[in-house]
Structure 1
Amino acid sequence: MEPSSEARISAIRHFNRFFTRHIGVLQEGLLHSPFPLTEARVLFEIGHGEQVTASQLVRELGLDAGYLSRILTHFEQQELIKKTRSEKDGRQFLLSLTPQGKEAFLLNDQRSREEVAEMLDDLSEEDQQRLLNSMRTIESLLTRGLKFSEPFVLRAHEPGDMGWITHRHAVLYAQEYGWDEQFEALVARITADFITNYRPGRERCWIAEINGEIVGSVFIVESSEAVAKLRLLLVEPKARGLGLGTRLVEECIRFARRHGYQKIILWTNSILVEARHIYQKTGFKLVAEEAHHSFGRDLVGETWELIL
């Protein structure tokens, strides 16, 4: 008889506990080093990579951008890494190891090789091949379901991003809807207000990147103690069809719930069909409509809300 779902879940959890204990992940310092697992992985990727950026690390390791930023700051304080501004993109910093960082990396790398070699020495040739084949099977099956295997990566805003958001909104809305420079002025005011009055525990901006290039953005800001406002959702044409717009809105919803908001509201226009589809799909309801003349066009403004 096939094992039940509960039995399968228990078996996988049992294997996870066995394997993490076997390779020493639960030790305070991996490989008898001062680095816990995540820090050791970050150090490893920087040591093995060429012109590594924080965005690439977020994508490769599936890490939260804020968490990675704290790790990199800690590494800088320990003088293990250095940052160099990219000549191709001034908003990007290339990460590399300092001499102290290389020393720590090489020590960890050597210890890792020695531990794996010791583990294999305890197995016959036949058992080693069975182990390797089984590991390849696990990797192949689970890679297809990795949650961080999306073609894009999300990060928090950085210096220069508000200028990009204002510029791209102005260009795209002029090209696609014929809106004039008054819309650019509105976006500039929204982004300036966000930076001037930024409340980290209550507000957030997400920037989406593909291979280091910005392709989208969204904001969640405080309207009142109980109400959050979603603003300035944008997805570049080249990144549409990847689920990015939905993912950005879902991040706003998760953030609002986590920080105690009771409702999210947003204002859009009926002409923005793709955005309206995303809002409807993620649970927002249209609650009000009003005709207006803005940005050089006759439009129908819409207010949507989501009860959390």
Structure 2
Amino acid sequence: MVDDGNYHGLCPPAMVDVVSALRAFNRFHTRFTGVLQPSYMDSGLGLTAARLLYEIARGPEQVAGQGILARTLQERLGIDAGFASRLLRDFERRGWIERRKGADGRQRPIHLTDDGRAFFDRLEEKTRAHAEGRITHLDDVQRAALIAALGEVRRLLGDVEA
């Protein structure tokens, strides 16, 4: 048994070990990546806000120059509309995003400003450096095994991008 949570009566017996292992991995991963800190990578943002900014900056809509709709962000991240709206208002207040005219008056695609891009690029570099620092002890064979294992986990859990 990987953990001794008291949910055994909630899961079919065959699922208990899988659920325990998944929960143990999640606890390890959140600690390993540092996402439990109040400020993600000392950015002044919580994890959800940092991820929202990532989706604005790196989503396929942004890459295509179209901007992204708030509703799309909410659906992609599975966050409440009110919470997303508060975060987006904060991004606007900081000068990181702007909402432009869309195909119709009700849709206002979100785009990063130059200040938003600069902030995101600094955060992205810090995040990459942190991740790299956590795996420098791995040799090439271990890194290849890690890539394969992570891809397999994503595939098994239904990540369509895996």
Aligned to 1:57: 73
Aligned to 1:45: 55
State the shift of 1:4 in Å.
4.2
Any unmatched runs of 5+ in structure 2?
Answer: 1-12
Name the amino acid aligned to 2:86.
Answer: R
Provide Cα deviations, 1:106-165, integer angstroms capped at 9, x if missing partner.
Answer: 1111111212222232111111111111111111111269xxxxxxxxxxxxxxxxxxxx
Aligned to 2:32: 22
Question: TM-score if structure 1 supplies the norm length?
Answer: 0.43
State the shift of 1:89 in Å.
2.1
Which structure carries more strand by proportion? 1
Question: Within 1, Cα distance between the matches of 2:29 and 2:159?
Answer: 21
Which structure carries more helix by proportion? 2
> Structure 1 residue 123 and structure 2 residue 138: aligned?
yes
> Structure 1 residue 33 and structure 2 residue 43: aligned?
yes
Question: Within 2, Cα distance between the matches of 1:66 and 1:32?
Answer: 25
> Structure 1 residue 11 and structure 2 residue 17: aligned?
no
RMSD: 1.8
Question: TM-score if structure 2 supplies the norm length?
Answer: 0.80
> Structure 1 residue 103 and structure 2 residue 118: aligned?
yes
Question: Within 1, Cα distance between the matches of 2:55 and 2:85?
Answer: 15
SS of the residue corresponding to residue 100 of structure 2 reads strand
Question: Within 1, Cα distance between the matches of 2:158 and 2:19?
Answer: 18
Question: Within 1, Cα distance between the matches of 2:123 and 2:34?
Answer: 13
Name the amino acid aligned to 1:11.
Answer: A
> Structure 1 residue 72 and structure 2 residue 88: aligned?
yes
Question: Within 1, Cα distance between the matches of 2:154 and 2:114?
Answer: 34
Question: Within 2, Cα distance between the matches of 1:29 and 1:104?
Answer: 14
By relative contact order (CA 8 Å, sep 6+), the higher-ranking structure is 2
Structure (1 or 2) with the larger CA radius of gyration? 1
Aligned to 2:147: 132
Question: Within 2, Cα distance between the matches of 1:101 and 1:138?
Answer: 32
Name the amino acid aligned to 1:124.
Answer: D
Identity among equivalent pairs (%)? 34
Provide Cα deviations, 1:179-216, integer angstroms capped at 9, x if missing partner.
Answer: xxxxxxxxxxxxxxxxxxxxxxxxxxxxxxxxxxxxxx
Question: Within 1, Cα distance between the matches of 2:114 and 2:51?
Answer: 18
SS of the residue corresponding to residue 82 of structure 1 reads strand
